[in-house]
Structure 1
Amino acid sequence: MIIVQRNKILIHLHTPKTAGTTLRKIITNNYHNSSYNVYLDESKRKERLRSLSKKNVSCIQGHFPFGIHKYLSKPCTYITMLRNPIDRVISEYYFIRRGTRHRLHQEVMKLSLEQYLRRPESMNVQTRYISGARGPLTRQHLEIAKKNIQKYFSIVGITEMFNESLFLMKNKFGWQNTSYEKENVTKARPSLNQISKTTLTELEKQNKLDIELYLFAKRLLEQKLINLDQQSKQELNTFLSKSNNQ
């Protein structure tokens, strides 16, 4: 059964390098002039959110931590995408090096991938975003992130299951236009099997919180797919077939 939810402001918490730019464009195509992007630093973000709370807003998207619903006067629900943390960090590292306009470009150009892993603020980014944490992360923040997902997020998609995630979002929010082309893809980056085992081991060590959060969210998504009724499962198969042939 499809239950369309349009009575709440949709907050797309766009975690970097998780296919969020592709999702952002899909969302914009469905909400048009009532969708607003808030890609601002914290000092400017609060002022922008307060001004948006006075407007007819259907959707807000941006690189911001969990908690912005507190600045809005209407009921809200969140969505996001999570990605395999090892792949996400590698993609982010090479994306920053390629992007000359990125605020960290000059700094990261001086770092090897192994040195990049020593930047605590670049590790466990997904846990930081979903928990809304400030400062050093602890396991408590992971538990907060899990609770936030269960209480405030309608759907947490998985990058490696993008089309399945998109199908659930489409049905949940009544999106009509879900055609897309992949956006903001990191080019000229090595695959996982080209990264040394030592580096991969260190990546896993430095992203333990994100790995657990990712697996938690993936299990929830898979359970949503299992719980679909027979008609919806048939529609999913049709949707996947069409999406794979785009």
Structure 2
Amino acid sequence: MSFPIFFIHPPKCGGSTVISFFDLNKGNDRFVNFVWDQDGWESCRAKLLETQVGGGHLPYGIHRVIKHPVNYCTILRDPLARQISHYLYAANGKNGEVTRGVSVSMPEALAQQGVLSLDEWVSESLGGRNLFVQMLSGEPAVNEASLAVAQINLREQISTVGVCEEMSEFLLRLCGSTGMKLPFYFETNRTNGAPKGHAQVSEAARQKFIEDNSLDYALFRDANRIVEDHANETGSVFSNALELVRLIQAEINQLDNPHVYSSSVFGFDGSFLARVHDVIRRFDLAPINAYLEFAQNRQRPPADLFDGFVDTVRDGAVYGWAVNLSEPERQVPLEVRVGTQIVATGLSGDPRPDVASAGYPSSRSGFSIALPGGMPDGFRVTIANSTESLHNAGTWRQGWHCE
């Protein structure tokens, strides 16, 4: 079963370059940048269902917003390198885009004015503290619990994860999980005039940043392990393909690239895309195609994605609705928990025409779960065997919601 691809794009992690990969594979301007407009997300949703590729600086959970399953992918970067890159990008006016009306935050404006130093930016994590955990968990609070959710999402819910430092490896694996054929890119939105390597950061600022972003470092290590595990599991069929990808990519990198300092938001030049395709056509892609066939044959089923809501608790039962967006005809298994203890279970399946009228793909999504007598105060309703959660899920007491 094929779902639209949604790219979770952490800022300053090579995401604009990843978008060039989508344009090479799907055609110019087919990637949908998710931006809230006067119609909310409706315009982006409609375009995504048409083009099948999109993404943005949005956390895990867009499937609940658009009421449709997606195939998630994402790319991470060394957290300190990302933070430094964000500062340098802000300091140079976002490659001139600020003069074209691109919005900036207060710290970004101060960096551009030269009022805020790199050390101050890094020591306060002004480009986002534990941003990876926040984005990949989709949880409002960032803590050890949301790190655990992000780690599970990374392994089970996000079909392809990569690291910016190994872009070709990520794109080859992304082709293997999506059915696209060309694991190539051209660099875009590099910070104009930025020094190579890490800019100078004091040891005190560096250590404070590492301590403050320990959760992101844990998640970044997990991402690297996923990359390494895949390479070990797939052996020579992957390494041979990757060797050819890097050879072809080196040729692409020799082209005069008009987009190296420009954002993908403004689109790519069609004639340049054609020149990149001309380079690719000069090579026999047999090793790449062999890996893609291998990867498709071992592809795991898409993860179940859910949405739902706990409406109320009354007369000794909890009521609400839950939908498996990936397989709407399946009932959703639910658990009522007090702490880690399961005190009651149930299934969706009751008629809820109001949920279907709201655009969800099931009219039998309702549930009512009887609560045991003498149950301790304070409980949550969870989806069994899933990190996915219901809105308004808890903590509940008999008859009222206290969170």
Give the shorter-chain TM-score range: 0.7 to 0.9
Kindly state the Cα deviation for residue 46 of structure 1 after the two structures are TM-superposed: 3.6
Give the corresponding residue for 1:3.
none
Checking the alignment, whether the CA contact within 8 Å between 1:18 and 1:159 is kept in structure 2 is: yes
Can you list the C-alpha shifts for 1:174-207, whole angstroms capped at 9, x where unaligned?
Answer: 3233432211112333532632222211221221
Checking the alignment, whether the CA contact within 8 Å between 1:38 and 1:45 is kept in structure 2 is: no
Give the corresponding residue for 1:188.
193
Gaps of 5+ in 2: 253-403
Kindly state the Cα deviation for residue 211 of structure 1 after the two structures are TM-superposed: 0.8
Distance 1:75 1:15, change over 3 A: same
Q: How does 1:11-160 map to 2 (within 5 A)?
A: 11-32=6-27, 35-40=31-36, 45-49=40-44, 51-52=46-47, 55-98=49-92, 99=94, 100=98, 101-104=102-105, 105-109=108-112, 110-116=115-121, 117-118=123-124, 122-134=128-140, 136-160=141-165
User: For residues 153 and 19 of structure 2, what CA distance do their matches in structure 1 show?
Assistant: 21
Kindly state the Cα deviation for residue 72 of structure 1 after the two structures are TM-superposed: 3.4
Select the structure that is richer in helix: 1
Q: Figure out how many residues of one structure are paired with residues of the other and give that number.
A: 238
Kindly state the Cα deviation for residue 119 of structure 1 after the two structures are TM-superposed: 5.1
Kindly state the Cα deviation for residue 93 of structure 1 after the two structures are TM-superposed: 1.0
Checking the alignment, whether the CA contact within 8 Å between 2:184 and 2:245 is kept in structure 1 is: no
Distance 1:69 1:17, change over 3 A: same
Select the structure that is richer in strand: 2
Distance 1:182 1:45, change over 3 A: farther
Counterpart of 1:213 (choices 219, 244, 257) is 219
TM-score (norm 1): 0.85
Identity %: 24
RMSD: 2.5
Kindly state the Cα deviation for residue 114 of structure 1 after the two structures are TM-superposed: 2.8
DSSP-derived class of the 2:35 partner: coil
User: For residues 39 and 116 of structure 2, what CA distance do their matches in structure 1 show?
Assistant: 30
User: For residues 63 and 37 of structure 1, what CA distance do their matches in structure 2 show?
Assistant: 9
Distance 1:175 1:204, change over 3 A: same
Matching residue's letter, 1:241: L
DSSP-derived class of the 2:234 partner: coil
TM-score (norm 2): 0.54
Q: Which has the higher contact order (CA 8 A, sep 6+)?
A: 1
Distance 1:228 1:106, change over 3 A: same
Checking the alignment, whether the CA contact within 8 Å between 1:34 and 1:56 is kept in structure 2 is: no
Distance 1:44 1:176, change over 3 A: same
Matching residue's letter, 1:106: A
Matching residue's letter, 2:32: Y
The list of structure 1 runs, each at least 4 consecutive aligned residues, that deviate by more than 6 angstroms after superposition, is none
User: For residues 224 and 44 of structure 1, what CA distance do their matches in structure 2 show?
Assistant: 41
Distance 1:144 1:185, change over 3 A: same
Gaps of 5+ in 1: 1-5
